[in-house]
Amino acid sequence: MRNWARALAVSAALLMPGAHASEAPEPPDQSWSFEGPLGGHDATAARRGFKVYAEACWSCHALDHIRFRDLGGLGFADDEVKSLAAGYEVPAGPNEYGDIVDDQGLLFMRRARPEDPFALPYLNEAAARTANDGVFPTELSLIVKARRGGPDYLFAFLTGYTEPPPALDLAEGRFFNAYFPGQAIAMEPSLSDGLIAYDDGTPETVDQYARDIVAFLAWTADPHLNARNRLGLGVVAFLAVFFILLLALKRRIWARLD
Residues that bind ligand HEC (CB under 6 A): 52, 56-57, 59-61, 132, 135, 137-138, 143, 147, 154, 157-158, 180, 185-187, 190-191, 213
Query: Which of 123, 75, 70, 72 is CA-nearest to residue 101?
Result: 123
Q: Which is nearer to ligand HEC, 132 or 202 (CB)?
A: 132
Measured CA to CA in angstroms, residue 206 lies from 27, 41, 156, 193, 202 at distances of 17, 21, 11, 5, 12
- Residue 233 Cβ, how far from ligand HEC at the closest point, in Å? 31
Q: Which is nearer to ligand HEC, 14 or 21 (CB)?
A: 21
Q: Which is nearer to ligand HEC, 213 or 215 (CB)?
A: 213
- Residue 241 Cβ, how far from ligand HEC at the closest point, in Å? 44
> Which residues in 132-243 belong to E strands, given as ranges?
175-176, 184-185
- Residue 129 Cβ, how far from ligand HEC at the closest point, in Å? 9
- Residue 171 Cβ, how far from ligand HEC at the closest point, in Å? 11
Q: Which amino acid type is present at position 192?
A: S
Q: Which is nearer to ligand HEC, 113 or 147 (CB)?
A: 147
- Residue 7 Cβ, how far from ligand HEC at the closest point, in Å? 22
Q: Which is nearer to ligand HEC, 143 or 215 (CB)?
A: 143
The CA distance from 114 to 195, in Å, is 27
Dihedral Cα 158, 164, 170, 174, nearest 10 deg: 20
Please tell me whether residue 89 adopts helix, strand or coil conformation.
Answer: strand
Q: What sign does the dihedral 146-148-149-153 (CA atoms) show?
A: negative
Q: Which is nearer to ligand HEC, 9 or 60 (CB)?
A: 60
> Which residues in the chain belong to E strands, given as ranges?
89-91, 109-111, 175-176, 184-185
Which secondary-structure segment (H or E) carries 109? Answer: strand 109-111
- Residue 45 Cβ, how far from ligand HEC at the closest point, in Å? 14
